[in-house]
């Protein structure tokens, strides 16, 4: 007789941890009043100064007479057109339904390093999932932690040893080696990776495998990543909005052509047949003569796509992950992401023009160039913008009003899915990122060989 998830897990006292609840505070209220007022003011100033006239100029032939202006205008026009296509795909997106019938065996892999008490919450959230206990295998790997991570993992296992297994490395080997141990030891039909600083919703395991149960050509599934410590401070609130735009809007649109370019480490699922052939190549990956330690999630996605499998997004598979609460921590996180993105973009370029799969090959190419050309063009036009601001101070006012309105338009995607007033933090993030985070990508490009994790 099949064991009941609720029977086994409830007896062990498991309950899924909840994200930090929303708290009322005066600064938050002021921001939610002042930012909309600022947007209204920006709209009036923009209409008066013609701050958005540049977008109309994209459709004028005179704009393309000068080479530099032509390059910038052509890219901007292409971006707007593709953004319209993304919006259509996002609007058409529907989460994958769970097919009827028995659920497959799933191996959940949780690598941890110096995670402390948070790893216990991560394990508890998986153990409390609404998934049959006899179809669930949880493998937790302590990657040579120097704190009390191992003790918390042992305590979690003791409460439900039926499906939780522990592996301990004597010294730190890196997240890729920890995941490799889970992949080689796991016996599930599907693998699910969950970060040790993240907690999943009760029905997430069912939802994350649903797309692969429906379609055998799907090799990887990206989960819906949200911020666990959302209310900690202004930085985490801004990251909350950024994550919604990045993990929902972008991945939902990419699902239309089965090319979600990164299945995130916080929550992803993989078909066993899609990962075993490339596991050793992924484990031993090198770049510029250095073994790759970061960006294991996007590297895995590239190798799955290269085999001809599709990768999709499942909105109903929700995970809450802990994000940095300081400017320094945020910069280190983005620096790690950008270094791995530069590397994996080159890897993606090596196969995307080949017949690696039968269909859905054109839109990934367009997506790639729209995404990747932003950096080199930014290196040209942002310095020109700053020079113009110094020479003509009125340009600053035009830029501020234009950025306000454009960021507001982008956060409308957030409003349509979350339906709350936190969109104001998306507007603030646009200015924050421009003033304090634009240096990260160029620095990442110049330090590509640095494979340190930075945030542990």
Terminal C-alpha separation, the chain: 44
pLDDT in tens, 240-292: 999 999 889 999 999 999 999 999 999 999 999 999 999 999 999 999 889 99
Domains of the chain, earliest start first: 106-248+260-331 (3.90.550.10)
Between 247 and 168, the higher pLDDT residue:
168
Q: Is the pLDDT of residue 2 over 50?
A: no
For the chain, what is the mean pLDDT? 91
pLDDT in tens, 218-252: 999 999 999 999 989 999 999 999 999 988 999 99
Average pLDDT over residues 74-91: 95
Orientation angle between helical segments 362-372 and 327-349, nearest 10 degrees? 140
pLDDT in tens, 412-438: 999 998 988 999 999 999 999 999 999
Average pLDDT over residues 34-63: 82
Average pLDDT over residues 387-391: 93
Percent of the chain past pLDDT 90, that is, above it, reads: 77
Query: 37-51, 109-123, 323-337: which range is least confident on average?
Result: 37-51
- Distance between CA 310 and CA 304 in Å, rounded? 8
pLDDT in tens, 369-383: 999 999 999 999 999
385 token code pair:
């913008």
Given this model, what pLDDT does residue 3 score? 43
Candidates 80, 267, 256; CA nearest to 192 is: 267
Q: Is the pLDDT of residue 9 over 70?
A: no
pLDDT in tens, 337-368: 999 999 999 999 999 999 999 999 999 999 99
Given this model, what pLDDT does residue 107 score? 98
Q: What's the per-residue H, E or C state across the chain?
A: CCCCHHHHHHHCCCCCCCCCCCCCCHHHHHHHHHHHHHHHHHHHHHHHHCCCHHHHHCCCHHHHCCHHHHHHHHHHHHHHHHHHHHHHHHHHCCCCCCCCCCCCCEEEEEEECCCCCHHHHHHHHHHCCCCCHHHEEEEEEECCCCCCHHHHHHHHHHHCCCCEEEEECCCCCCHHHHHHHHHHHCCCCEEEEECCCEEECCCHHHHHHHHHHHCCCEEEEEEEEEECCCCCCHHHHHHHHHHHHHHHHHHHHHHHHCECCCCCCCEEEEEHHHHHHHHHHHHCCEECCEECCCCHHHHHHHHHHHCCCEEEEEEEEEEEECCCCCHHHHHHHHHHHHHHHHHHHHHHHCCCCCCCCCCCCHHHHHHHHHHHCHHHHHHHHHHHHHHHHHHCCHHHHHHHHHHHHHHHHHHHHHHHHHCCCCHHHHHHHHHHHHHHCCCHHHHHHHCCCCCCCCCC
**pLDDT confidence tier of residue 164, bands split at 50, 70 and 90:** very high
Given this model, what pLDDT does residue 60 score? 79
Q: Is the pLDDT of residue 23 over 70?
A: no
pLDDT in tens, 308-317: 999 999 999 9
**pLDDT confidence tier of residue 14, bands split at 50, 70 and 90:** low
Given this model, what pLDDT does residue 55 score? 74
pTM here? 0.92
């Amino acid at each position: 007789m099949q064991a009941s998830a609720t029977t086994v897990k409830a007896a062990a006292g498991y309950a899924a941890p909840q994200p930090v609840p929303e708290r009322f505070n005066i600064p938050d209220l002021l921001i939610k009043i002042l930012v909309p007022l600022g947007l209204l003011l920006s709209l009036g100033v923009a209409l008066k100064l013609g701050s958005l006239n540049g977008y109309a100029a994209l459709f004028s032939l005179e704009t393309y007479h000068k080479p530099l202006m032509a390059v910038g205008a052509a890219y901007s026009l292409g971006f707007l057109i593709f953004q319209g296509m993304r919006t259509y795909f996002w609007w058409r997106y529907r989460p994958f339904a769970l097919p009827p019938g028995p659920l497959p065996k799933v191996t959940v892999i949780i690598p941890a390093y110096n995670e402390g008490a948070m790893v216990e919450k991560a394990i508890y959230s998986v153990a409390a999932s609404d998934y049959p206990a006899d179809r669930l295998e949880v493998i937790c790997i302590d990657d040579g932690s120097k704190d009390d991570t191992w003790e918390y993992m042992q305590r979690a296992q003791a409460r439900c040893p039926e499906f939780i297994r522990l592996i301990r490395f004597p010294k730190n080997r890196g997240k890729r080696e920890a995941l490799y141990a889970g992949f080689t030891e796991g016996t599930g039909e599907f693998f699910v990776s969950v970060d040790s600083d993240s907690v999943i919703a009760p029905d997430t395991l069912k939802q994350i495998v649903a797309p692969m149960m429906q379609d055998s050509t799907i090799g990887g599934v990206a989960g819906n990543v949200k911020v666990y410590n959302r209310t900690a401070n202004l930085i985490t609130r801004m990251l909350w909005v950024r994550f919604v735009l990045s993990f929902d809007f972008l991945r939902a649109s990419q699902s239309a052509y089965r090319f979600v370019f990164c299945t995130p480490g916080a929550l992803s699922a993989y078909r066993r047949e899609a990962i075993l052939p490339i596991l050793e190549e992924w484990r031993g990956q090198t770049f510029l003569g250095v073994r790759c330690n970061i960006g294991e999630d996007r590297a895995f996605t590239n190798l799955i796509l290269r085999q001809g499998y599709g990768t999709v997004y499942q909105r109903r598979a929700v995970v809450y992950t802990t994000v940095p609460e300081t400017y320094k921590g945020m910069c280190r996180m983005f620096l790690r992401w950008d270094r791995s993105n530069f590397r994996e973009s080159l890897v993606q370029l090596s196969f995307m023009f080949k017949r690696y799969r039968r269909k859905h090959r054109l839109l990934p190419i367009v997506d790639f160039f729209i995404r990747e050309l932003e950096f080199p063009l930014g290196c040209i036009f942002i310095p020109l913008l700053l020079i113009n601001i110094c020479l003509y101070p009125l340009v600053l006012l035009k830029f501020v009003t234009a950025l306000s309105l454009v960021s507001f338009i982008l956060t409308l995607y957030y409003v349509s899915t979350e339906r709350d007033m936190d969109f104001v933090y998306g507007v603030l993030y646009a200015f924050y990122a421009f003033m304090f985070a634009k240096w990260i990508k160029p620095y990442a490009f110049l330090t590509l060989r640095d494979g340190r994790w930075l945030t542990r």
